[in-house]
Amino acid sequence: MDNTPVVSVIVPVYRVESFLSQCVDSILNQTFPDFELILVDDGSPDNCGSICEDYASKDSRVRVVHQKNGGLSAARNAGIDIARGRFLSFVDSDDAVSPHYLERLVAVAAETDATIVTGQFSIHADALSSGTEPARLLNGAEACLDVYRGQKTVKISAWCKLYHRSLFDHRRFPVGRIHEDQFLIPLLLYESIRVAAIPDLLYYYRIHSASISHGTFSKKRFDDIEGLDLCIDFFRNKNEEEIVQAAKRSRQILLSAYNLQAYNANVAIPEQYHIDRHDAISFMRTLSPEESNTFYRSLAHPVKTRLTEYWIKIKKIFHFPCI
């Protein structure tokens, strides 16, 4: 009898003692039963390791990995390495998912033969919902354009997606980088036979000050730009000029925005990414309403609360037109 689960859900765990139980409970309470949950304790100094073991002792679907702290990418990679499922899904340990999260994603994968299925997220836990609307189908190149143009259907984040296991046969998340999704997700999308996007709000994205995306600004944020540069080179080598141009435009937006944030936070800007403050402001003023309203929320991170607030201040100070 084959005991291979349909899905392996991988959750990196580090310093989330206050949120971990809500995350794990939301996964274990899925309406779709055929999955394994891999909790990767990434050397967490609090009680997260013990909490993970407690869940494993009570539910045979839970497997626990303890490792020396290596960061989010290293933890995800450790989960991928031992995953048994035909599909993979990533959930961050301070977030939570709808009870229908796996059921809906797996059903769409079966219906469409998609190698990646993506749902949508909400920053409000009580807003999660599951429907029956048909999926929007894209090829890999179309999905990448959707990401870089900030068109909201397909997002850069690793979570809130279901991946066919074969996509990770030769790829892993970049260790030692933040904004690791920027390095890898466009490549996975491009290499997908078919990407299916559904409008269901299946994932609760929690905003709190301790998260990587919303903590104090540091020059590590420029890892984002490095990831974009690597992907631009990849698509240039594939002769995908339309994707290259879209990625370069998003790079220019992010680079200008990060420079302004760095100036505001008195953070040293890496020389190769430095832009004059007035040039950055002038460029940001050229954004279309769609770009201004979309990119902060959906390109490099799902919600750019601090960056958006700072941009609003800039517009007020320099009397930019309201968007």
Residue 68 lies in a domain: yes
Mean predicted confidence (pLDDT) in 169-189: 95
Query: Where residue 115 sits, what CATH number does that domain have?
Result: 3.90.550.10
Residue 153 lies in a domain: yes
Take residue 122 and report the two structure tokens written for it: 């909400």
Residue 80 lies in a domain: yes
Residues 41 and 184 placed together within one structural domain of the fold? yes
Residues 77 and 190 placed together within one structural domain of the fold? yes
Mean predicted confidence (pLDDT) in 114-140: 94
- Measure the CA–CA gap between 116 and 188, rounded to whole angstroms: 8
User: Which structural domain range is residue 98 located in?
Assistant: 7-204
**How much is the pLDDT for 193?**
92
Q: Taking 70 as the threshold, does the pLDDT of residue 22 lie above it?
A: yes
15: confidence class by pLDDT, cuts 50, 70, 90: very high
Closest CA to 255 of 243, 265, 266, 247: 247
Residue 211 lies in a domain: no
**How much is the pLDDT for 303?**
42
Residues 85 and 152 placed together within one structural domain of the fold? yes
- The last residue of a domain, from among 171, 204, 237: 204
**How much is the pLDDT for 286?**
87
Q: Taking 90 as the threshold, does the pLDDT of residue 70 lie above it?
A: yes
319: confidence class by pLDDT, cuts 50, 70, 90: very low
Percent of the chain exceeding pLDDT 70 equals 87
Q: What own/partner pairs with CB < 8 Å and gap ≥ 24 does 27-33 have?
A: 27/91, 27/97, 27/101, 28/55, 28/59, 28/61, 28/62, 29/99, 30/97, 30/99, 30/100, 30/101, 30/102, 30/103, 31/99, 31/100, 31/102, 31/103, 32/6, 32/7, 32/100, 32/102, 32/103, 32/106
Lowest mean pLDDT among 2-11, 226-235, 289-298: 289-298
Q: Taking 60 as the threshold, does the pLDDT of residue 294 lie above it?
A: no
Mean predicted confidence (pLDDT) in 298-303: 40
Take residue 74 and report the two structure tokens written for it: 């290293």
Residues 163 and 107 placed together within one structural domain of the fold? yes
Of the CA atoms within 13 Å of residue 77, those in its CB half-sphere come to 17
Bridge partners (DSSP) listed for residue 12:
40
Higher pLDDT: 58 or 209? It is 58
Residues 245 and 106 placed together within one structural domain of the fold? no
Tally of domains in the chain? 2
298: confidence class by pLDDT, cuts 50, 70, 90: very low
**How much is the pLDDT for 211?**
57
Residues 35 and 150 placed together within one structural domain of the fold? yes
Take residue 157 and report the two structure tokens written for it: 């984040």
CB 108 within 8 A of CB 101: no
Counting beta carbons within 10 angstroms of the beta carbon of residue 107, is it exposed (0 to 12), middle (13 to 18) or buried (19 or more)?
middle
Mean predicted confidence (pLDDT) in 292-318: 48
Q: Taking 80 as the threshold, does the pLDDT of residue 12 lie above it?
A: yes
pLDDT digits (tens, 9 = 90+) for 242-263: 999 999 999 999 999 899 989 8
pLDDT digits (tens, 9 = 90+) for 112-122: 999 999 999 99
- Measure the CA–CA gap between 102 and 261, rounded to whole angstroms: 37
Closest CA to 251 of 226, 218, 275: 226
Residues 6+ apart with CB under 8 A from 175: 70, 71, 73, 74, 77
Residues 200 and 241 placed together within one structural domain of the fold? no
Residues 134 and 23 placed together within one structural domain of the fold? yes
**How much is the pLDDT for 213?**
53
Q: Taking 80 as the threshold, does the pLDDT of residue 313 lie above it?
A: no
Take residue 3 and report the two structure tokens written for it: 């005991």
CB 91 within 8 A of CB 11: yes
Q: Taking 90 as the threshold, does the pLDDT of residue 321 lie above it?
A: no
- Measure the CA–CA gap between 191 and 285, rounded to whole angstroms: 35
- What is the residue-averaged pLDDT of the chain? 89
Bridge partners (DSSP) listed for residue 204:
96, 122
CB 116 within 8 A of CB 161: yes
Residues 170 and 245 placed together within one structural domain of the fold? no
pLDDT digits (tens, 9 = 90+) for 77-102: 999 999 999 999 999 999 999 999 99
306: confidence class by pLDDT, cuts 50, 70, 90: very low
**How much is the pLDDT for 300?**
38
Residue 322 lies in a domain: no
Closest CA to 153 of 136, 170, 140: 136
**How much is the pLDDT for 50?**
98
